[in-house]
Structure 1
Amino acid sequence: MSSTTWIRNASWVVGWDAARDRHVYMRDADVVFRDGVLVHVGRGYAGSADVIVEGKDRLILPGFVNIHSHPTSEPLLRGLTEETKSRKLGMSTLYEYTVLVGRSNYTTTLAESQAARDNPQIYQDDDARMAAGQIAMWEMLKSGVTTFVDYSPNRAGWIDEALATGMRVCLAPSFRSGYWYTRNGHEVLYAFDEAAGRRAFDEALALLDQVARHPSDRLFGMVAPGQIDTCTADLLQDARDASRERGLPMTLHAAQSVVEFREMVRRHGKTPIEWLESLGLLAPNFIIGHAIFIDEHSWIAWPEKRDLGRNADSGSHVAHCPHNFVRGGVVLQDFGRYRAAGINIGLGTDTYPHNFVDEMRWAAILGKVAARDAHATKVEDVFHAGTVGGARALQRDDIGRLAPGCKADVVVVDCNHPMMQPLRDPLRSFIFSALERPITDVYVGGRQVVRGGEVLTIDVTRAGAILTAGQQRALERVPDKDWAGRTADEAFPLALETV
């Protein structure tokens, strides 16, 4: 049955000015949606409604668009990798630490992952991974995310799991030709099994075709090879062709570490971005995961400065996830510079916590730090990236903004929350001070999934208990997987000595 919801006389609304292609404040405005679609944003709604929500002392925002997340792995690393980085491997956790707990060493096919559950080298804990995903999605909903990219290895029951959250989910089943490892903590090696990578690629395409046929408008897909240094050229080019044939966006981790940059130069004599260009991957449907270590980054001594131009000229997008990298002292150099070059940037919660508002704050602050200019990156810039920027990267013009005809993905913020006071500029108060705390209600396609600050679709207490037990099981296996045979306490020491 048709149903209309009217958020009446909201004190503040972040609406969309199409003529100027930007968000704007509206005062004392109405937001109305019917059957999952916005029908009115602004003053003077004269129609009727089945549900009326009083908007006094409320800030109404578009739902946030998270274009890069790994929900089934990252929460397992909480309390382990915040300050544990490989000093001899570019201050990254990728090659030495994340493989010990949060991720399997090899992206296997579904059948292979089931057969390998007891192999400590590719140990899978399905219960813990599902609980991790629940925790991550709960954090996203609490922070106003209504659309997110689930960039994960293929798993059974994924579609049903995504639908149950009530969120708008882009399924991005990952695959790769091989994996990295280290035998000594200072050298990264690669092992390739191209046949296994092909099988995982075929399974990913089968899932994406299933998603395309699914009747729910809250599901869509993305072609998502794993990392630039773990995929062969022909696999990446076939993935490129598959994405374009299906009209889907495509993403890939690239320019994400010093190790990777040096490896691509060793193999091809090209920067990662330059090699992607040579393969024909850079295009308006392509999202580069991170794109930090380009030819002009201060950690890279490279004689040419062309990567920003390659990215901008191709229309490719960047998924910026500042929080994960700054914990290792790594920053994008810099957000404002990329934007000024003409590059569209979206935001992602690459790691825990999956707090999207906090990610916007990190993006704003680190953009200023990297540029040494307080005006280089502003709240308007990061808010745009977290909404419209992400939507454009996903090839969507119906999310990330409050405008008639768009999806009714709506976030309600309590302006009376103490962290929002005094309320002169609501977005600045929200992003720099309050973060997710004053969010009271979230709607996805007109359906309420957060009410009074409580997520309605996820049992977070149960998920937390399962995740805790799963992390403990994983920690017991650390000596079997670590190159140095360290215990969990040796590999991941506590912040303080226990006496």
Structure 2
Amino acid sequence: MTITLIREAELVVAWDAGEKRHAYMPGGDVVFEDGVIRFVGRGYDGPVDTIISGKGLLVMPGMVNIHSHPTSEPMNKGLLDEIGSPGLYNSSLYEFMPIFRGDSSAVQDCVRVALSELLLSGVTTLADLSMAHPGWLDLLAEAGMRVCIAPMFKSARWYTKNGHVVEYEWDEKAGEKAMEEAFTLIQRAEQHPSGRLFGMACPAQIDTCAPGLLRDSRAEAKSRGISWQIHAAQSVVEFHEITRRHGFTPIQWLHEMGLLDERAVIGHGIFLDDHPSTPWHTRRDIDILADTGTTVAHCPTVFARRGIAMKDFGRYRRSGVNMGVGTDTYPHNMLDELRLVAYLARTQANDPRTTTTTEIFNAATIGGARALGRDDIGKLAVGCRADFVVVDATHPRMQPNYDPLRALIYAAGDRAVKDVYVDGQKVVGDGKVLTMDFAAAAANLSEAQKRTVQNAPQQDWAHRPTDKISPPTYKWL
């Protein structure tokens, strides 16, 4: 075990325990040993083995991404940027996303590309919502990231035969079996020798899970003391389906079943009972989320591509809803996602004061940590895990530097991220991923995407060629 000191950093985004908030600390020292932060303050004079000069460096807590799909989303780059089903309220979930799934040989490259992008943008903890796949745990451990695995399970699959009606094929026994396998995998993750893996229960979507599967998974998650996440209120189609089945909105239906509390996470949570696209006869949803302590995992990019937006991040926060942030789609760039959180909230509210960078950065750190039941990540404080990001504060994109976090989020982005540490181990150095071959994985994924493009017409209900489904920007000569 060695003691490492980052001495007199230009700026430390330190945790103010008295005020329970992040604070700017110029000239701060950060000391870590055996994966744990031992000191955050000024004038450290204790033992030290390695000294890193903090001159020109901004040290901030690693970000906590609570919603991501690394096994599939990198494959969609260039294919799903501009398409949504006009007959399904512009969602791409039901008609297009299922036909662009890569083959099994592409999964590991997908994951390596996504995790590389996440590390380079300052994410140190990730919730990976994926279907279980061979070698999953060892692959995540290879990245050096802290990962909450969330093996998805469900009672039905959705499909469309015409582009305007969503149908469901049910197999409740298969869903129950998949749930059992998911909890077994979570237990294996918690026992993994890396010590960086833990788990979360994840019934995939509210409309593809039988009520019994939802109740049973929630009860099992509670008995294990782990979080529980579900995609809900993510599309107009789903909203109408749940109100048709149960007479309640998706949020109200989950509440009626007693599934919402401080360890519950709603993936997306956009279409509440007062959203302009889903006006309902009640106005209860946002208060239910706040009163139960439920977290909303906000992922604006994937919806913005379809012209869809939450109404709005600032309103949720003012109502008392705990917010976290995720990267539901490519690129897996957390800093880009935070920028869009701000801009969409303000345009949807027609008010630049609806939210602040403080609230947004909190969502990406302590808000996400709370959702995962972790008090030892998302902040730089003694006793927390040594998960942090070192930013080049002298980078031209960081100048002028009146407010460093605003400069990072709204201007410099991942270009200024220099080093990233997880458990005190450097996983990004001088802007390069040290644990995985990002370039090789990206090249392999490009070849895999060609196979996916070739096979897509066979998966499409109308058997359209890919260039008809997703026309290129310009005609190929």
**TM-score above 0.5, yes or no:** yes
Equivalents in 2 of 1:327, 1:125: separation in Å?
25
Count of equivalent residues: 477
Deviation of the 1:47 alpha carbon: 1.3
Counterpart mapping for 1:51-450 below 5 A? 51-102=50-101, 125-450=103-428
Q: Deviations over 1:420-474 (max 9, x none)?
A: 0111111111000001101110000100001111100111121112211111111
Aligned position for 2:13: 14
> Which residue number in structure 2 is paired with residue 109 of structure 1?
none
Which residue of structure 2 aligns with residue 470 of structure 1?
448
Inter-partner Cα distance in structure 1 for 2:306 and 2:41: 44
- SS state at 1:95 partner: coil
- The answer to which of 250-259 and 45-54 deviates more is 45-54
Instruction: Quote the Cα distance in structure 1 between the aligned partners of 2:421 and 2:438.
Output: 19
Provide the rounded CA distance (Å) in 1 between the counterparts of 2:336 and 2:348. 18
**Which residue identity is paired with 1:445?**
D
Amino acid at match of 2:262: P
Secondary structure at the aligned position of 2:130 is classed as strand
Give 1:215 shift.
4.1
Counterpart residue type for residue 184 of structure 1: N
Give the Å deviation of 1:140.
0.2
SS at match of 1:347: strand
Q: Structure 2 stretches of 5 or more lacking a match?
A: none
Give the percent of matched residue pairs that are identical in Structure 1 and Structure 2: 51
Q: Give unpaired runs (5+ residues) of structure 1.
A: 103-123
* 1:486-497 → structure 2 map (5 Å cutoff): 486-497=464-475
Shifted more, 11-20 versus 436-445: the winner is: 11-20
Aligned equivalents of 2:239 and 2:272: distance in 1? 8
In the alignment, residue 8 of structure 1 is paired with which amino acid?
A: R
> What amino acid is the match of 2:415?
R
CA contact (8 A) 1:127 1:466 kept: no
**CA separation in 1, counterparts of 2:394 and 2:331?**
25
Q: Distance in 1 between matches of 2:144 and 2:117?
A: 14
d(CA) in 2 for partners of 1:455 and 1:322? 26
RMSD over aligned Cα atoms: 1.0
SS in 2 for 1:28: strand
Counterpart amino acid of 1:326? A
1:475 Cα deviation from its structure 2 partner: 1.3
State the distance in 2 between where 1:158 and 1:349 align. 19
Moved runs in structure 1, 4+ residues, more than 4 A? none
The reply on whether 1:49 has 2:48 as its aligned counterpart is yes
- Equivalent in the alignment of 1:29: 28
* Whole-angstrom CA distance in 2 between matches of 1:176 and 1:229: 9
Q: C-alpha deviations, 1:124-179, integer Å up to 9, x for none?
A: 62221111110000000000100001100011111111111000010100010011
Amino acid at match of 1:83: E
Decide which moves more: 254-263 or 363-372: 363-372
Q: Which residue pairs with 1:116 in the alignment?
A: none
The 3-state SS of whatever aligns with 2:286 is helix
What secondary structure sits across from 2:440 in the alignment? helix
Partner of 2:415: helix, strand, or coil?
A: coil
Counterpart in the other structure of 2:39 = 40
Amino acid at match of 2:98: V
Preserved CA contact (<8 Å) 1:73 1:132? yes
What is the identity, as a one-letter code, of the residue corresponding to 2:306? G
Q: Could you tell me how far 1:235 is from its partner in structure 2?
A: 0.4
* Partner Cα separation in structure 1 for residue 373 and residue 400 of structure 2: 38
Amino acid across the alignment from 2:276: S
> Is 1:459 the counterpart of 2:437 in the alignment?
yes
- State the distance in 2 between where 1:470 and 1:203 align: 28
| Secondary structure of 1:357's aligned partner | helix
Moved more, 326-335 or 204-213: 204-213
Q: For the residues of structure 2 that align with 1:438 and 1:70, how far apart are their CA atoms?
A: 25
Equivalent residue, structure 2, for 1:484? 462
Counterpart CA distance in 2 for 1:163 and 1:130 is: 13
Residue 204 of structure 1 aligns to a residue whose secondary structure is helix
Provide the C-alpha distance between the structure 1 equivalents of 2:331 and 2:474, rounded to a whole number of angstroms: 21
Q: Distance in 2 between matches of 1:32 and 1:371?
A: 42
1:88 partner SS: helix
CA distance in 2, matches of 1:440, 1:47: 27
Letter matched to residue 262 of structure 1: H
Q: Structure 1 residue 79: deviation in Å? A: 0.3
- SS at 1:435 equivalent: helix
TM-superposed deviation, 1:258: 0.3
**Matched residues in 2 for 1:194 and 1:86: separation?**
28
Separation of aligned partners in 1, 2:438 and 2:194: 25
1 CA distance for matches of 2:18 and 2:308? Answer: 37
Query: In structure 2, what is the Cα distance between the partners aligned to 1:169 and 1:42?
Result: 28
